[in-house]
């Protein structure tokens, strides 16, 4: 393969500034992509990775989306941009056929107007007037490549997170691009889902596609890259091979998550990704530093001396989504929870893991009554919550949702945190609680001036966490709190969870990140086929 | 259900338009009633009777009641007075006119609801694209049909998040309005953000391309259906012409 020796895409960025902003989102940055090679761009939250990816792929266009100074060179053709009106104009469709991009939110890639996976895959080919026979072949070939052959007739809206991401990648690679840019392709996938995407990426590289990985974790996948570029505040601060950069001061400063590599060789249940801040090395969580979260069954100090009233109790809870055949696939309503018993004592941290789609979020929604059990009962601080409105239960149960964006609706970060606090602590107390919660997640500086929608997604998650912490609930339920957090974010999360437990809060966190669960929780439970079991 | 899927979307559309136009042109309440009953039977057989009839009730009950009050009680041309209370007169002509208008509207509403609840939107889009209708038109049509469920789903998620932070949703109107106000901001922000990134994705996938397109979906059509559509169009046109011819002199002399 002669192609492997030349550079397919070379970008040299002087600056890129969004219209209406005065600070450039990207400063000096350069990137070269070689066919058949995996290149990783690593950076913490808000470092400009997505902006870089979208700029390279023509999703953000010079003049159209912002002012771009620099050059893009594809296969020897060089385009120079001066931020002037007579700059070359990219045709997004033509450019994306060569340089494809898959966004972090895979659903954003889909047309939403196609009824089946096969038609969604074909959408880009239809728009390019590909003859139907060729289209049928391409859909079949691509589906096999991304592992969707069995799902071609499914409605895209019913796919799981991992399937959705494979579909988005399929939509990008069906046009056989030379370069594929993947933005956090493993975010929120369970072990099996992540392994499939990793295998897919290896396959694409093997077939000669140059793959660019945008990631805030120097994880196993990033470790396979031939080249790393470290991005901080839109500027490249370091580049080199993984061997050169691993453990470097630049990587440390960037806020990129560095899991312990190869530290879990002996454990049988691997396959789960390690994005957590792990045992050993310099990056312990706050909880570990202070020696509190000694992993192991039961929090020794509680319950043994005197019987303490449980913070949260589930007795024989069963649940199934009613026969709403339009939204659920599958022939019969499946029992998501089956006779689940769970007791969480004050001060105890319990982690619940399980594959995507096993009902972990469903379980959490029972804690405050957003979902009501078909059988069994839920007790919060000893009180049965049957028939109690969610808003009332919320005084004792704080729930952090998987998608923090749905949770934020106020004009400033401080007002957001203050929402509903006055009813709990009075006018005088509320502001103090809000500011303390913001300080705990490292958002004090943003309190008065920043609109929640302007925060990068990881800080939105931390803000949503602060809104829950400020209420000082007796039970804290966290749904995938680690997703999208860089190292600083994870440290804030770890400290906040530990502090809440120390105050006597019963904490339940749902996470697919087994390593993080091990490092933080007293007990780990696995949800599988509707049952909880200790692991 | 399966039966309607064998119909080409244009066949169903032609039948619906034809039935509505012929019913309106004929202006005969027995025919209107027959068309309405036929649509209801088809809805039952298509398995969509519940949705069609409940949607129809929302539209038709207030409409028919107002027709009855308006024309049943106050019909200026009415001669045959059946009952009289002050200015209100119940006349046979008024009742007949209300019946006429009511059955005609009912027939049209039922026919179009039946069509929209049984047509396969992807088939319709694909058929439109094959007729060189700009795909953007089809996209807007499909988005409109899918927008409402999407918005409802998102509103639900936002409400849950707010309830989880202590917002108690009570039955009162003021309380509901208050909570709705809080939900609008994140809803609009989220929809705008979605639209922005969706536009970039659509552009990248060549949706903005000018020029010809192909269609992956194969919508089955048949000679019989094509003949039916041609016949239905001719019949519809004939009904309109006949109506014009019949009422023309009356229209002039009135």
A177 contact residues in B (CB cutoff 8 A): none
A333 confidence band (pLDDT: 50, 70, 90) = low
Token reading at A257: 């998550």
Nearest-neighbour CA in chain B from A317: distance (Å)? 20
Residue A276 has pLDDT above 50, yes or no: no
**Do the Cβ atoms of A59 and B198 come within 8 Å?**
no
Model pLDDT, residue A2: 44
**Residue A15 φ then ψ, to 5°:** -165, 155
Burial of residue A217 (number of CB atoms within 10 Å: 0-12, 13-18, 19+): buried
- Maximum Cα interatomic distance, chain B, rounded to a whole number of Å: 71
Which of A117, A371, A390 should one mutate to test binding to chain B, selecting the residue with the greatest count of B CBs within 10 A?
A: A390
Query: Taking CB atoms and an 8 Å cut-off, how many pairs form between chains A and B?
Result: 165
Interface test with B, best of A54, A105, A113 (most B CBs within 10 A): A113
| Kind plus residue range of the DSSP H or E element containing B105 | helix B92-118
What mean pLDDT value characterizes chain B? 83
Helix crossing, B92-118 with B49-73: angle to 10°? 160
Phi, psi angle pair for A14, to nearest 5°: -85, -55
What part of B 70-99 touches A (C-beta under 8 Å)?
Answer: none
- The pLDDT value recorded for residue B172 is 67
- Of B3, B239, B22, B20, the C-alpha closest to B111 is B20
Two tokens at B144? 């409109």
Mean pLDDT in residue range A52-79: 91
Question: Does B171 touch chain A if contact means CB atoms closer than 8 Å?
Answer: no
Q: Which residue in chain B is spatially nearest to A470 when comparing CA positions?
A: B165
- B168 in A contact zone (CB under 8 Å): yes
Nearest to B164 among A135, A136, A390 (CB): A390
Would the ipTM clear 0.85, i.e. be above it? no
Residue A398 distance to chain B (closest CA, Å): 7
- Residues 6 or more apart whose CB falls under 8 angstroms from that of B65 comprise none
In angstroms, what separates the C-alpha of A175 from chain B's closest C-alpha? 9
pLDDT of residue B209: 81
Q: How far is the C-alpha of A313 from the C-alpha of A334, rounded, in Å?
A: 24
Please list, in sequence order, all residues whose beta carbon lies within 8 angstroms of the beta carbon of residue A230, skipping any fewer than 6 positions away. A42, A43, A236, A237, A238, A239, A245, A250, A251, A254, A256
Joined tokens for residue B140: 């807007």
Q: How far is B25 from B46, CA to CA, in rounded Å? A: 27
Give the model confidence (pLDDT) of B89-124 as tens digits. Answer: 888 888 888 999 999 999 999 999 998 888 887 788
Give pLDDT, residue A448. 82
Å between A455 CA and nearest CA of chain B:
13
A349 φψ region: left (φ > 0), alpha (ψ -120 to 50), beta (else): beta
Interchain proximity A406–B190, CB inside 8 Å: yes
pLDDT band at A35 (very low <50, low <70, confident <90, very high): very high
Q: What is the mean pLDDT of residues B37-63?
A: 90
Cα distance from N-terminal residue to C-terminal residue, chain A: 48
DSSP H helices, A73-190, are 92-98, 117-127, 132-146, 161-173
Superfamily assignment of A2-253 in CATH?
P-loop containing nucleotide triphosphate hydrolases (3.40.50.300)
- Closest chain A residue by Cα to residue B138: A113
Which of these, A54, A145, A41, lies nearest to A99 by C-alpha position?
A: A54
Closest CB to B122: pick one of A60, A115, A406: A115
Cα A271 to Cα A162: distance, rounded to the nearest angstrom? 14
pLDDT, residue A281, reads 36
HSE toward the beta carbon, residue B240, CA cutoff 13 A: 10
> Mean pLDDT in chain A?
84
The minimum CA-CA distance between A71 and chain B, rounded to whole Å, is 20
Verify whether the Cβ–Cβ distance A126 to B214 is below 8 Å. yes
Alpha-carbon span A403 to A244, nearest angstrom: 36
Nearest chain A alpha carbon to B166: A391
Q: Do B216 and A57 touch (CB under 8 A)?
A: no
Best residue of B146, B168, B206, B213 to probe chain A, by most A CBs closer than 10 Å: B206
**Residue B251 predicted with pLDDT over 60:** no
Question: Residues B217-226: what's their mean pLDDT?
Answer: 88
Measure in Å the smallest separation between the Cα of B51 and chain A Cα atoms. 13
> pLDDT at position B217, please?
87
Which residues of chain A are within 8 Å of residue B194 when distances are taken between CB atoms?
A: 108
Q: Which of A273, A118, A245 is nearest to A185 (CA)?
A: A273
Check CB contact under 8 Å for A93 and B208.
yes
* Residues 6+ positions from A141 with CB-CB distance below 8 Å: none
Confidence check: pLDDT of A285 > 60:
no
Backbone angles phi, psi at A114, to 5 degrees: -105, 140
- Interface contact B225, partner A, CB < 8 A: no
- Which tens digit of pLDDT belongs to each residue from A157-193? 888 777 888 999 999 999 899 999 999 998 878 788 8
Per-residue pLDDT band for A4 (boundaries 50, 70, 90) equals very low
CB A88 within 8 A of CB A79: yes
Question: What pLDDT shows up at residue B196?
Answer: 76
- What span, in angstroms and rounded, lies between the C-alpha atoms of B194 and A470? 30
Is there a contact between A403 and B157 if contact means CB atoms under 8 Å apart?
Answer: yes
Q: Is A266 a residue whose pLDDT tops 70?
A: no
Is residue A521 scored above 90 in pLDDT?
Answer: yes
Any A CB within 8 A of B185 CB: yes
Residue B1 confidence (pLDDT) above 70: no
Residue B250: predicted pLDDT: 56
Beta strands in B15-171 (DSSP E): 81-85, 88-91
Are residues A121 and A139 in contact, defined by beta-carbon separation less than 8 angstroms?
A: yes
Secondary structure of residue B201 in the 3-state scheme: helix
CB contact under 8 A, B135 and A401: no
Q: Do residue B206 and residue A97 have CB atoms under 8 angstroms apart?
A: yes
Q: Is the pLDDT of residue B199 over 50?
A: yes
Identify the CA nearest to A348 among candidates A296, A305, A286, A276.
Answer: A296
Task: Find all residues with CB under 8 Å of A343, minimum gap 6, and list them.
Answer: A310, A312, A313, A314
- Is the CB of A93 less than 8 angstroms away from the CB of B165? no
Per-residue pLDDT at B30: 93
A506-510 and A475-479 beta bridge pairing: parallel
pLDDT at A466: 94
Residue B231 forms contact with A (CB below 8 Å) = no
Find the helix or strand (DSSP H, E) in which A330 lies: none
The b/e string for A406-432 (b: 16+ C-beta within 10 A; e otherwise) is bbbbbeebbebbbbbbeebbeeeebee
Test A420 with B218 for CB contact under 8 angstroms: no
Distance CA B5, CA B180 (A): 39
Subunit contact B211:A129, Cβ cutoff 8 A: yes
Nearest C-alpha neighbor of B32 from the set B5, B67, B80: B67
- Residues A223/A186, Cβ–Cβ less than 8 Å: no
A471 contacts on B by Cβ (under 8 Å) = 165-166
Sequence ranges of the domains in chain A? 2-253
| Chain B nearest CA to A299, separation (Å) | 27
Q: Contacts of residue B161 in chain A, CB cutoff 8 Å?
A: 401, 406-407
Name the 3-class secondary structure at B20: helix
Task: Give the residue from chain A lying closest to B143, CA to CA.
Answer: A113
Q: Pull the structure tokens for residue A170.
A: 């399929």
CA A304 to chain centre: 38
Residue bearing the bigger pLDDT, B236 or B79? B236
CB-facing half-sphere around the CA of B37: CA atoms within 13 A: 6
Interface test with A, best of B51, B135, B144, B164 (most A CBs within 10 A): B164
Q: Which of residues 105-144 of B touch A (CB under 8 A)?
A: 120-122, 125, 129, 135, 138-139, 142-143
Residue B80, pLDDT > 90, answer no
User: What integer pLDDT is reported at residue B146 of this predicted model?
Assistant: 66
């Amino acid at each position: 393969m002669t192609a492997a020796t030349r550079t397919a895409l070379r970008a040299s960025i002087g600056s890129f500034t969004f219209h209406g902003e005065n600070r450039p989102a990207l400063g000096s940055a350069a990137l070269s992509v070689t066919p058949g090679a995996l290149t990783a761009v690593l950076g913490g939250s808000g470092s400009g990775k997505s902006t870089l990816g979208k700029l390279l792929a023509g999703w953000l266009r010079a003049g159209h989306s912002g002012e771009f100074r620099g050059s893009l060179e594809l296969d020897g053709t060089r385009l120079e941009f001066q931020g002037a009106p007579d700059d070359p104009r990219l045709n997004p469709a033509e450019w994306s056929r060569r340089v494809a991009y898959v966004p972090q939110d895979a659903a954003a890639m889909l047309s939403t107007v196609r009824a089946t996976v096969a038609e969604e895959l074909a959408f880009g080919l239809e728009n390019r007037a590909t003859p139907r026979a060729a289209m049928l072949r391409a859909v079949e070939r691509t589906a096999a490549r991304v592992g969707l052959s069995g799902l071609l007739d499914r409605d895209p809206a019913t796919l799981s997170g991992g399937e959705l991401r494979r579909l988005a990648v399929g939509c990008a690679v069906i046009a056989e691009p030379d370069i594929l840019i993947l933005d956090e392709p493993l975010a929120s996938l369970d072990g099996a889902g992540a392994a499939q995407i990793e295998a897919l990426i290896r396959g694409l590289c093997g077939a000669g596609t140059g793959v660019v990985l945008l990631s805030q974790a120097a994880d196993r996948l990033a470790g396979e890259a031939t080249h790393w570029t470290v991005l901080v505040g839109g500027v490249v601060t370091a580049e080199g091979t993984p061997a050169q950069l691993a453990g470097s001061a630049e990587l440390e400063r960037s806020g990129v998550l560095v899991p312990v590599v190869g530290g879990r060789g002996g454990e049988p249940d691997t396959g789960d990704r390690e994005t957590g801040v792990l045992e050993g090395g310099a990056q312990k969580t706050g909880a570990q530093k202070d020696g509190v979260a000694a992993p192991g069954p039961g929090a020794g100090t509680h319950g043994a001396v005197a019987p303490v009233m449980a913070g949260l109790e589930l007795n024989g809870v069963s649940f199934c989504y009613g026969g709403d055949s339009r939204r659920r696939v599958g022939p019969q309503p499946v029992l998501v929870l089956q006779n689940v018993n769970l007791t969480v004592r004050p001060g105890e941290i319990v982690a619940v893991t399980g594959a995507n789609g096993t009902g972990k979020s469903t379980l959490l929604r029972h804690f405050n009554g957003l979902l009501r059990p078909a059988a069994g009962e839920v007790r919060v601080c000893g009180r049965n919550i049957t028939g109690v409105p969610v808003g009332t239960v919320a005084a004792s149960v704080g729930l952090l949702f998987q998608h923090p964006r749905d949770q934020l609706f106020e004009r400033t970060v401080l007002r957001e945190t203050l929402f509903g606090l006055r009813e709990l602590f009075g006018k005088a107390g509320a502001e103090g609680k809000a500011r303390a919660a913001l300080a705990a997640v490292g958002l004090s500086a943003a309190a008065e001036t920043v609109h929640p929608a302007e925060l990068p997604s990881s800080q939105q998650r931390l803000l949503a966490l602060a809104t829950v912490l400020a209420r000082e609930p007796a039970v804290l339920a966290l749904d995938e709190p680690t997703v999208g957090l860089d190292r600083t974010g994870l440290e804030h999360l770890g400290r906040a969870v530990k502090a809440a437990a120390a105050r006597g809060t019963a904490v339940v966190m749902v996470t697919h990140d087994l390593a993080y669960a091990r490092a933080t929780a007293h007990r780990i439970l696995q949800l599988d086929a509707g049952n909880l079991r200790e692991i | 259900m399966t039966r309607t899927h064998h119909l080409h979307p244009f066949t169903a559309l032609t039948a619906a338009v034809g039935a509505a136009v012929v019913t309106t042109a004929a202006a005969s309440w027995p025919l209107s009633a027959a068309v309405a009953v036929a649509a209801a039977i088809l809805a039952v057989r298509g398995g969509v009777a519940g949705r069609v009839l409940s949607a129809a009730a929302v539209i038709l009950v207030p409409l028919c009641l107002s027709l009855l009050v308006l024309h049943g009680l106050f019909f200026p041309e009415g001669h045959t007075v059946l009952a009289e209370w002050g200015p209100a007169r119940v006349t046979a002509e008024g009742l007949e006119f209300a019946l006429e208008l009511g059955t005609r509207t009912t027939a049209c509403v039922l026919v179009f609801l039946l069509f929209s609840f049984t047509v396969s939107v992807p088939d319709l889009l694909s058929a439109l694209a094959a007729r060189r209708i700009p795909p953007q038109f089809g996209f807007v049509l499909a988005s409109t049909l899918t927008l409402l469920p999407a918005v409802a789903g998102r509103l639900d998620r936002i409400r849950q998040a707010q309830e989880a932070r202590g917002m108690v949703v009570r039955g009162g109107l003021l309380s509901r309005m208050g909570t709705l106000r809080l939900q609008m901001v994140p809803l609009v922000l989220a929809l705008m953000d979605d639209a922005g990134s969706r536009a970039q994705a659509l552009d990248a996938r060549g949706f903005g391309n000018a020029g010809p397109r192909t269609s992956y979906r194969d919508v089955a059509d048949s000679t019989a259906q094509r003949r039916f559509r041609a016949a239905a169009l001719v019949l519809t046109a004939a009904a309109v012409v006949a109506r014009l011819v019949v009422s023309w002199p009356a229209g002039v002399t009135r």
